[in-house]
Chains A and B, each alone.
Chain A
Amino acid sequence: MPNKDEHLDASGISRRGFLKGVGAASAATALLTGAQEMKEAAAQAAAPAEMGPGNVTIMLDVNGIQHKVEVEPRVTLLDALRNRLDLTGTKKVCDRGTCGACTCMVDGDLAYSCSMLAVEAVGRKITTIEGLGTPDKLSDIQKAFIEHDALQCGFCTPGFVMATTAFVKAHPNATLEEVRKGMGGNLCRCGTYAGITQVALGTPAYVKGGA
């Protein structure tokens, strides 16, 4: 995986490197819409970074810890978490972005880890269920799930805890309609929605303090 500062390491602060830095800064606010920007971008075009199809070494930031992982580019973030890092709290169920059991946070946003390649997660902060709480020190949402009997077989639960954690943070005083819309990315085949809905509605009140 190329380091973002590779051009500086290779050639010091060259004029090319400086221009590239400027280009990157302006890209944050400007779309590639003008002819001038296009020319500048063309001038910066370097040799394409291509890797694989065999193993590549990448760094993944999971629950605040940097992990060195060897994966083929085709490996999903979900499989890297479970099979390379032994973080098996994140569940593999449908493996096609439909059920939500594999839900993690990527840069603080809910995401299906089955539908993201591990190589795409480089440089981003990944939070899994293991990063929310521990058996000795549960997060508030985890505690509330137990109190409200919001699980049965438990297989969808890690994904639902992730989804509920993000939902309650964004909607501390949610209505039932908001819960139904905002929690629509996860499925529970046991049908424990009544309990999960109670937690997402902010009952008990301590969940509103954040997880």
Chain B
Amino acid sequence: MKPFAYANPKTIEEAVKLLGDAWGKTEVLAGGTDLVTSLKQNLTSPDKVVSLKDVEGLSGIVAADGSLKIGATTKLKDLIANAEVKKNFPCLVTAAESIGSPQIINVGTVGGDLLQRPRCWFFRQGYGLFGTYEGAALVPDGDNRYHAIFDNKGPAQFVNPSSLAPGLIALGATVRVHGPSGTRDLPVAELFATPKADTDREYTLKPNEILTYVSIPMKGLKNATYEIRQRIGLDWPMVTASVAYEDSGGKAANAKVVLGHVAPTPWVSDKAAAALNGQAVGEDSAMKAGAAAAEGATPLSMNGYKVHQVKVVVKRAVMASMA
């Protein structure tokens, strides 16, 4: 690990000023459960690490203006324990609890979950965001069992690792971002983008911007997450789905279905949503939504199994939303 300077500013303005305008020169530190490992593995070698631990106003959960606002450094354990989150957004509780390690849930943050780097083993072993060696792509002919089955025709074939992003997108959440010239709000779906160059990041923040909170409209949507995992303990899931919809006399309206771990970004399935809208929510519509979600998948050599998992995971998420 390269030595770096450490700063722990007290205000968001100070924190933003400390950041450089190019990726990799400075890094933002929240819980550290991803960044500290990334530093050790030289996935990033910044000159300076800017800690958010003493920045005022970044942690906590407050209801205001019909939304629940969750600070970026709110720990996952506090998200899980919050009564409003439990009552209104079970899709987030399921996703956060399933991370499977109390040590991560106690220390990891909401902002850190959204902005953790991909878990792609080629990336983590130092072959870059696209997994290349001497110019050749390693993913197509390598062990790609956990890689993307959608949006995988470009150089990016990793999957977005966030547990919370699918649920937040399904719920219509936005994030607030602070930069040198002030603040901007954007839908969570627009926080992510498939990178075109391996020096890009998987998110649309600029190098000198900091995510400060997530805002979730409290519209009484039915919602649930279902995850398919290999084991109960600490791991990332194979495929996840979050669903949210208005319950209109037992029929779904304005449904959103968002898949995780199937594409370089959280994957919004409009086809699955269309299969639910106007239908009585039940096993029949759940299965149709699952089948619709799997349409158009382009699996790689070793991850065809994920296409079936998509069908199952969407069906089970819809069924879970009825509980």
Select one of B41, B53, B212 contacting A32, CB under 8 A: B212
Residues of A within 8 A of B100 (CB): 181, 184-185
Expressed in whole angstroms, the Cα–Cα distance for A74 and B48 within the complex equals 10
Given contacts A49-B7, A97-B103, A110-B103, contact A76 B57 (CB under 8 A): no
In the complex, are the beta carbons of A32 and B213 less than 8 A apart?
yes
Interface flag for B322 (CB, 8 Å): no
Within A104-131, which residues are at the interface with B (CB < 8 Å)? Answer: 106, 109-112, 114-117, 119-120
Interface residues on B, range: 35 or more
Interface flag for B11 (CB, 8 Å): yes
Select one of B11, B33, B77, B101 contacting A45, CB under 8 A: B11
In the complex, are the beta carbons of B107 and A112 less than 8 A apart?
yes
Expressed in whole angstroms, the Cα–Cα distance for A97 and B1 within the complex equals 16
Q: Which residue of B lies closest to A112 (CB)?
A: B103
- How many chain A residues touch B (CB < 8 A): the figure is 55
Interface flag for A72 (CB, 8 Å): yes
Residues of B within 8 A of A106 (CB): 106-107
Interface flag for B49 (CB, 8 Å): yes
Min CB–CB distance A60 → chain B (angstroms): 15
Interface flag for B56 (CB, 8 Å): yes
Q: Which residue of B lies closest to A109 (CB)?
A: B106
Residues of A within 8 A of B213 (CB): 31-33
Given contacts A49-B9, A111-B107, A185-B101, contact A31 B71 (CB under 8 A): yes
Given contacts A76-B36, A111-B106, contact A45 B18 (CB under 8 A): no
Expressed in whole angstroms, the Cα–Cα distance for A74 and B304 within the complex equals 41
Expressed in whole angstroms, the Cα–Cα distance for A142 and B91 within the complex equals 38
Select one of B36, B59, B77, B232 contacting A180, CB under 8 A: B232
In the complex, are the beta carbons of A74 and B13 less than 8 A apart?
no
Interface flag for B29 (CB, 8 Å): yes
In the complex, are the beta carbons of A46 and B14 less than 8 A apart?
yes
In the complex, are the beta carbons of B103 and A111 less than 8 A apart?
yes
Select one of A74, A98, A115 contacting B3, CB under 8 A: A74
Interface flag for A64 (CB, 8 Å): no
Residues of B within 8 A of A76 (CB): 36
Within B59-96, which residues are at the interface with A (CB < 8 Å)? Answer: 59-60, 62, 64, 69, 71, 77
What is A's interface to B at a CB cutoff of 8 Å?
A: 23-24, 27-33, 37-38, 41-42, 44-46, 48-54, 56, 72-74, 76, 95-98, 100, 103, 106, 109-112, 114-117, 119-120, 163, 166-167, 180-185, 187
25 contacts between A and B (CB under 8 A): A27-B56, A29-B62, A32-B56, A33-B62, A37-B57, A45-B10, A50-B5, A50-B6, A52-B3, A74-B1, A74-B4, A97-B103, A109-B77, A110-B103, A112-B107, A114-B36, A115-B32, A116-B107, A117-B36, A117-B49, A120-B32, A167-B102, A184-B232, A185-B233, A187-B233
What is B's interface to A at a CB cutoff of 8 Å?
A: 1-14, 17-18, 29, 32-33, 36-37, 39-41, 47-49, 51, 53, 56-60, 62, 64, 69, 71, 77, 97, 100-104, 106-107, 176, 183, 212-213, 231-234
* Seed contacts A31-B58, A31-B59, A48-B9; 15 additional CB < 8 Å A-B pairs: A30-B60, A32-B56, A32-B58, A38-B12, A44-B10, A44-B11, A49-B8, A51-B5, A51-B6, A52-B6, A97-B33, A109-B77, A116-B36, A119-B6, A184-B100
